[in-house]
Amino acid sequence: MSLTKQTQLIHDSQREPTYQSANQPLYYSSTYHQQQLGGATPYDYARSGNPNRTHLETKLAQLENGKHGFAFNSGIAAITAVFLTLQAGDHVILPDDVYGGTFRLTEQILAKFNITFTTVNAEDPKNIENAIQPNTALIYIETPSNPLFKITNIPAVIDIAQHHHIRVAVDNTFMTPLGQQPLDLGADIVIHSATKFLSGHSDVIAGAVITNDDDIADALYLIQNGTGTALSVYDSWTLTQHLKTLDVRFKQSVKSAKKINTFLAQHPAVSEVYYPGNSSTHLRQAHHGGAVLGFRLVDETKAQQFVDALSIPLVSVSLGGVETIVSHPNTMSHAAIPQHIREARGITFGLFRISVGLENIDDLILDLDIALKEVYDESLIKHPQAQSSSG
C-alpha cells in the first residue's frame, strides 16, 4: 500500500522491535561493539553513521521523492557539501539574491579553491543561459528568493541545464518538500535548511540534501563522513520527532499566510506585498504560495514604531517556526550589504518579512492591524503619489 507523506512522517515501516515504543529509541552512542574482527557491522562509529541519522535520512529522502537523503549539522553545511562535490576549476551560476550565507561561502571560502561563481538575476532563465561557460558544472537556484520573493522558473532552468549537461541544485527551504518537489521537476539535488519549517520549533540547527543520483550520493557521503558535518545523533532524533507534525504545521501556516496576504494587500499603511502565491510561474511549479511573505510600509521611516507596537510575533531572523517571526532584512539578514546597494535592490528600511506561525489567525491579523494603524499617516494616504509606484 503506498502511503501519503503525511502518514509516512508519523509511522515507520518497521516498529522498534524490543519494546514497540511509539518513538525511535535514541542511540546515544559514539561507538559500537564489533564481535568479528574485520567483520561487517551496520554501524561502527557514529560520525560515519548511526541508527537515528539513518532513520531521519530515510524520511528526508521519502519527503522529496528522492532515493538518497543526507542530514547535516546546518543548512549551510548541507550547501557546503553540495559545492564540495565540484572540482577546482569548475564554474557555478547562482542567483544574485541567493541566501546571504551561501553568497559568503562562495565568495569568501570556495573562491580560494579556484571554483568560480557568476551571479545573475535568475528571474529570467536567459540570464542563466548567457552565463554558461565551458567549465560550468552547477546551476544553483533558490526559489522563492529572499526577501523579495523573486521566482525562478525551475523547469525552464532544468531544460537549459540538461541541454548543456550541467547539474542543477535547488535550495527548497522556503517551500518545503510538501509545497514544491524539484527532483520531480528534474533537478539533480535538493537542499534544505531543516532549521526552518522541517524542524519548525526554532530549536534545532540542521540541513538536508536529497538526490536520486547514485554518483552524487556517493560523493555526498564521502564529504559528510570525511569532513564530519553530519547532524548529531540527538538532533537527528529531535528533527525526526518534529517532522511528524510538518504536514499539519505547514498546512496551517500556508492557510494563515493567504489571509495575511489579503489583509496586507488592502491595508493603507502597506505599499507593497511580496507573496509567491501571486506569481503564476511559482504556482505552476509549486502547490501554493507557502507561508512566508514580504511587505513594505508606506511610511518607511516608521519601521521601529511598527515593531514596537507588535505584541505577538518574534522580531528576529529565521523562519518556519510555530511562532510568527517578523524579520527586518535591512538591519538583519542583509545588513552586511553596503547601504546604497541594499537600497537599490529594494531592501529598504520599511521592508519586512513575515513567516506565519500557528497562532490564531484573528489574533495575528488584529495584532498586525494595531501595529499598522500606529504607523498609518493620514497625509500619505491623502496624497497617493507619496506611495511607492511599483505596485
Ligand X SMILES: *Cc1c(COP(=O)(O)O)cnc(C)c1O
Q: Which residues bind ligand X (CB under 6 A)?
A: 74-76, 99, 101, 142, 171, 173, 193, 195-196, 205, 207
Q: Cβ–Cβ contacts within 10 Å for residue 96, how many? A: 15
Query: Please, which residue, 173 or 271, has the CB nearer to ligand X?
Result: 173
* Residues near 169 by beta carbon (within 8 Å), at least 6 away in sequence: 82, 138, 139, 140, 141, 187, 188, 189, 190, 191
Q: How far is the CB of 302 from ligand X (least distance, A)?
A: 27
Is 171 annotated as catalytic? yes
Is 67 annotated as catalytic? no
Q: How far is the CB of 333 from ligand X (least distance, A)?
A: 9
Is 258 annotated as catalytic? no
Query: Please, which residue, 125 or 147, has the CB nearer to ligand X?
Result: 147
Active-site option among 53, 59, 196, 296: 196
Active-site option among 59, 90, 97, 99: 99
Residue nearest to ligand X (CB): 75
Q: How far is the CB of 190 from ligand X (least distance, A)?
A: 12
Q: How far is the CB of 99 from ligand X (least distance, A)?
A: 4
Is 342 annotated as catalytic? no
Active-site option among 5, 12, 47, 369: 47
Query: Please, which residue, 99 or 376, has the CB nearer to ligand X?
Result: 99
Query: Please, which residue, 193 or 238, has the CB nearer to ligand X?
Result: 193
- Which of the residues are catalytic? 47, 99, 171, 196
